[in-house]
Copies of this chain bind each other. A is one copy, B any other.
Amino acid sequence: MFSKACEYGIKASIFIALNSLEHRRVGPKEISKEINSPEAFTAKILQALVRNNIVNSIKGAHGGFEIDKKDIKTIMLADIVNAIDGDNIYKGCGLGLQQCNADKPCPMHEKFKLVRAELKNLLESTDLESLALDIKLGESFLKN
C-alpha cells in the first residue's frame, strides 16, 4: 500500500508529534528505536519531511526534530503521504493505466474508485494530534 519510506515517515511523524506535545526534541536514534526502523534510512526520510515543512529540525547540540505544537492538529496523514509517496495512491489507476479517466476507464474503475475514496477520506481526515493522543493513551502502538 505505502512504501517503506512512507510507513517510516508516518510513524516518525507521530512519534515526533507525541514528544513535541511535551516539549521534547527527538533524534533519529531514538525515533528509529521507537518505530523499529533502520536509523540511517529513517534519518533520510526525516530530511524529506523537513524539506516539506512537516517537521522542524534544530541542528547542533541539544538539537533534534520537533513539530510546532500549533501545527500538530492541522497536519494530516495526507500531507505526509503526499510528501513521500506523491499522489498516485489518490489519483492513480488501480490497474496502472497512465491516468485514471472515467471516460475511458479500466475494468476495475467503478469499484476501485470507492476504495480510493475511502483511503483518501482516511488520509485527509486524520490529523497527527489524534494519532499521537491514541499512542499516549495506550490505545495504539508504533511497533509490535
Residues of A within 8 A of B (CB): 1-2, 4, 7, 10-11, 14, 77, 89, 92, 94-99, 101, 104-109, 111-112, 114-115, 118-119, 122, 126, 131, 134-135, 139-144
B4→A96 contact, CB < 8 A = yes
- Tell which of B98, B104, B108 touches A122, judged by Cβ atoms closer than 8 Å: B108
Contacts of A101 in B (CB 8 A): 144
Complex Cα gap A99–B143 (Å): 10
Q: Is the interface of A mostly helix, strand, loop or mixed?
A: loop
Complex Cα gap A2–B112 (Å): 12
A98→B144 contact, CB < 8 A = yes
Complex Cα gap A139–B102 (Å): 10
B140→A111 contact, CB < 8 A = no
| 3 nearest A-B pairs in the assembled complex, by CB-CB distance | A7-B96, A107-B131, A107-B140
A94→B2 contact, CB < 8 A = yes
Residue in B closest to A128 when the chains form the complex, CB atoms: B107
Assuming A14-B107, A114-B122, what are 5 further A-B pairs, CB within 8 angstroms? Answer: A10-B108, A97-B143, A105-B139, A108-B122, A111-B126
